Amino acid sequence: MGDDRYPVDPPAVHYDEEERPARKLPGRVGVFVSVVAFAVALLVLWQVFRPLAQGSQYYLIIFLAGTLPLVFLAYKSGLGKGRETPGVTDWILAGAALVVCLYPIAGGYDDFLNRQGLLEPVDVVFGAVLLVLVIEACRRTTGWALPVVCLAFLAYGYYGGLLPQTWPIAHAGLDFAQIVDALYNSGSGFYGTPLDVAATYIVLFTIYGAVLDLSGASRFFVDLSVAAFRRSRSAAGRTAVAAGFLLGTVSGSGTATAVSVGAVTWPMLRRAGYPPEQAGGMLAAAGVGAILSPPTLGAAAFIVAEYLNVSYLTVLGWAMIPTVLYYLGILLAVEIDVRRYGVRAVDAPPTSAWRLLTRFGYHFSSLIVIVVLLALGTSATRSVVYATILAGALSFLDRRHRLTPPRIFTALSAGVRGVLPVVAVCAAAGVITATTTKTGLGAQLASLLVNGARAITDEPRAVLALTVVLAAFALALLGLAVPVTASFIIGWVIIGPALLGLGVPAPAAAMFVFYYSVLSEVTPPTALAAVGASAITGGRAVATMWQALKYALPAFLAPIAFVLTANGEYLLARGPFLGILWTTVVAGLAVFGLAVATGAWLPGVGPAGPATRVLAAAAGLLLLYLDPVAIVAGLAALLAAAGVAALEKRRHRPPVEIRPCPTTPPGGDA
């Protein structure tokens, strides 16, 4: 971006490759994959302004036909040693994927739709092959966990009729043709809402992220973070957190953001005196914040908007206050660690933040344009396309990052390649949603969840509280096994009805499921963001996970307030202004108490002993309940924690040694 820039280039941002990295395809194969991805990008852009007349499912069929074959070429099988170039098997699978995806429109699309519920044998064969290919694509991009879950749902759909009919989850049973029909020739299977969101919203945002990255925005965001805090002892930690937030607007991927920021800021954190595990936990928490932060959020946020039939801007509004609370918790932990670990200031480049803003602040323009256009009523798809065009045009203000035609080709193809894992996950999620819809499993499991809580108590508030705790635990376990997007879809299908049945408003229930799905990225023992950060810092992976959990703790507890209390919805910016204001302040105090409890340090006082930490934790939990009585008790507990910490500090202060005046001999006269 010019000679006045911070001299370190951050690595290229990766887009949603959170489980398994893609191949680095060389030569002609790489060119072929890039050309196909570029063609898919053009189709996606065309659909925004000139939708195909045959309807959205027709478009999804073509989109899947263009992207699913690329998964087999771009991702290794993971069996054996693997190879960087696709083998014969990969090409066969890619060809088969193309054929079975295009089959519904090759033989007459209307005739195929008319056979819904009465598929011909050849339809069943092609649908079965597509099922196998979707599960294999999901395995290649995310590992074994989600495919195993899909197979379990398929087994339930096929064998559920053999279960004792007295069991709540028993059903009449589906034959194989019915299962294939639900997956291949309906709007609830492969071509359901998850894939629709991936093919319309998510792919456009990954293209936008690729354009921002190639225009130099990612480097600017990191440099700005470095320059903004260069004179403080907390500069290294604040830089990592700020860079994670800003870079997340480009990436939208927690693990990729943590790794990208860590590669740049870890040398600074090490010089400042951060232990590797502490630094890795901070980077992981800051990276995961990218999925929680407007204006791009994560893929699941688009599905929230689609399921609830609200605008994406509305979902962004719901996420604003929780995002502030999340980063407040991280920044408080950073300030505590500075004092607890004796972190020192480090030398920073002489470039000032103001100089960077005046020269390269235009990178914020496209982000602002997205929000403004959404507020004016423009659709999310058109808003992001216009923002992408603006980002490309502004790139010519910096000769090093001009988006010339070859670079535009690279950006569009990289954006589509970045969405391939999400496409595989969303198509596989269709297996879960279709089976749940056909068998009614969602309502049955929701009933079991609520009945489990009622078996302990009949008091309505207690039933809700127990259901919320069970739901949070179930989502945390689910997130250990499957990616964020799939975790949300499964959680919404099963846990959403339980919360709605207990009177929880739909926005609160959806955001509860969303946040707990995202936070699986920092939940031991499979916290992917923490694993990626530990690879950068060289710290122990498990210890890094626990540190990441400490930083992200407020985000685990705040969503409970959404659904547990009547005032919780104010934290989603739903309600009167004064209500939103006082709940935000109270929740901020709760985050402060939780930071003291986990950090073992009370800012302005000093080390926090066990009694102080217990009182601070109790204060945080009481304040988050957002009930007047609980708030008063929480404030009292917080004041008591401060008093106990002050007494402990005075008790352990070393006595002042009184020495005689050097001019007066000991025992002599004054």
- The Cα–Cα gap between 555 and 476 comes to 13
Higher pLDDT, 358 or 299: 358
Q: Where are the domains of the chain?
A: 576-649
Q: pLDDT, tens digit, for every residue of 142-159?
A: 888 888 889 998 999 998
Residue 200 near residue 312, CB atoms below 8 Å: no
pLDDT at 258 over 50: yes
Please tell me the predicted confidence (pLDDT) of residue 526: 60
Q: pLDDT, tens digit, for every residue of 414-439?
A: 889 988 988 998 899 889 888 888 88
pLDDT at 639 over 60: yes
- The Cα–Cα gap between 244 and 264 comes to 11
Higher pLDDT, 83 or 153: 153
Record the tokens describing residue 399, joined without a space.
Answer: 């000769």
Residue 92: band (very low, low, confident or very high) from pLDDT cuts 50, 70, 90:
very high
pLDDT at 21 over 80: no
Which burial class, exposed, middle or buried, applies to 216 when counting CB atoms under 10 A from its CB (0-12, 13-18, 19+)? buried
Please tell me the predicted confidence (pLDDT) of residue 652: 66
Residue 248 near residue 296, CB atoms below 8 Å: yes
- The Cα–Cα gap between 605 and 377 comes to 50
Q: 184 vs 484, 489, 669, CA distance in Å?
A: 24, 19, 104
Percent of the chain past pLDDT 70, that is, above it, reads 89
> How far is C-alpha 127 from the geometric centre of its chain's CA atoms?
32
pLDDT at 336 over 90: no
Question: Is the model's pTM score more than 0.85?
Answer: no
Q: pLDDT, tens digit, for every residue of 500-533?
A: 888 899 999 999 998 888 876 677 666 667 877 8
pLDDT at 643 over 60: yes
Q: 378 Cβ partners below 8 Å, 6+ apart?
A: 386
State whether residue 293 is helix, strand or coil. Answer: coil
Q: pLDDT, tens digit, for every residue of 438-497?
A: 888 877 888 888 888 888 888 888 888 888 888 888 887 776 667 777 788 888 888 888
pLDDT averaged over every residue in the chain: 83
Please tell me the predicted confidence (pLDDT) of residue 481: 60
Please tell me the predicted confidence (pLDDT) of residue 664: 47
Q: pLDDT, tens digit, for every residue of 611-625?
A: 999 999 999 999 988
Record the tokens describing residue 35, joined without a space.
Answer: 């050309």
pLDDT (mean) for 200-222: 84
Please tell me the predicted confidence (pLDDT) of residue 15: 39
Please tell me the predicted confidence (pLDDT) of residue 485: 79
